Amino acid sequence: MAFYSEKVMNHFQNPRNVGEIKDADGIGEVGNPVCGDMMTFYIKVKDDKLEDVKFKTFGCGAAIAVSSMVSEIAIGKTLEEAMNITNAMVAKELGGLPPNKMHCSNLGATALHKAIEDYKNKQKEKK
Ligand code: FES
């Protein structure tokens, strides 16, 4: 496992914020076209900030580590700040990913952004 950074291994073995938010304000789901793995993010929003973020990832170790890191970075951020989180940023925070695993990092921030968009659409519907 030498090609995984310590941070990746840590987040894979002890993923933070795993689970589902039953009354989520927004849900974002993405599939990885390369391998078929799936990731779902659930968000709770309060005062324009991400109060809680949880995820369920049906995928490889790198995808789990990426989801865990995204959730950790995102909690407490404003919606705008969270929209500025990029997949590359997450991979960097994890101390990098092996080149053949970079495609796994493409899910994380995208799923989070989709959950935020879902929340915004729901807000519009309410108005
Ligand atoms: Fe599918 Fe990593 S192999 S997300």
Q: Is residue 104 flagged as an active site residue? A: yes
The CATH number given to whatever domain includes residue 36 is 3.90.1010.10
Mean pLDDT of the 31-47 span: 94
Encoding tokens for residue 37? 């793995």
Q: Is residue 60 flagged as an active site residue? A: no
Whether 106 is in a domain gets the answer: yes
Half-sphere exposure of 9 toward its Cβ, with a 13 Å CA cutoff?
Answer: 6
The one catalytic residue among 35, 58, 84, 122? 35
Mean pLDDT of the 25-53 span: 96
Q: With both helix axes pointing from N to C terminus, report the angle between 61-74 and 108-126 in degrees, rounded to the nearest 10.
A: 50
State yes or no: pLDDT of 2 exceeds 70: no
Q: Which atom of ligand 1 is nearest to the CA of 37?
A: 1
Q: How far apart are CA 55 and CA 122, in angstroms?
A: 20
Mean pLDDT of the 117-121 span: 98
How many domains are contained in the chain?
A: 1
Contacting residues for 115 by C-beta, under 8 A, at least 6 apart: 24, 26, 27, 28, 41, 42, 43
Place of tokens 């994380």: 108
The alpha carbon of 124 is separated from its chain's Cα centroid by a whole number of angstroms, namely 24
Q: How far is the CA of 67 from the centre of ligand 1 (A)?
A: 12
8 A C-beta contact, residue 111 and residue 104: no
Whether 127 is in a domain gets the answer: no
Query: What does pTM read for this prediction?
Result: 0.94
- How does pLDDT run across 93-112, given as a tens digit for each residue? 999 999 889 889 989 999 99
State yes or no: pLDDT of 1 exceeds 90: no
Mean pLDDT of the 82-90 span: 95
Q: Whose CA is nearest to atom 3 of ligand 1?
A: 60
Whether 101 is in a domain gets the answer: yes
Query: Containing domain of residue 103, as a range?
Result: 6-120
Q: Whose CA is nearest to atom 4 of ligand 1?
A: 104
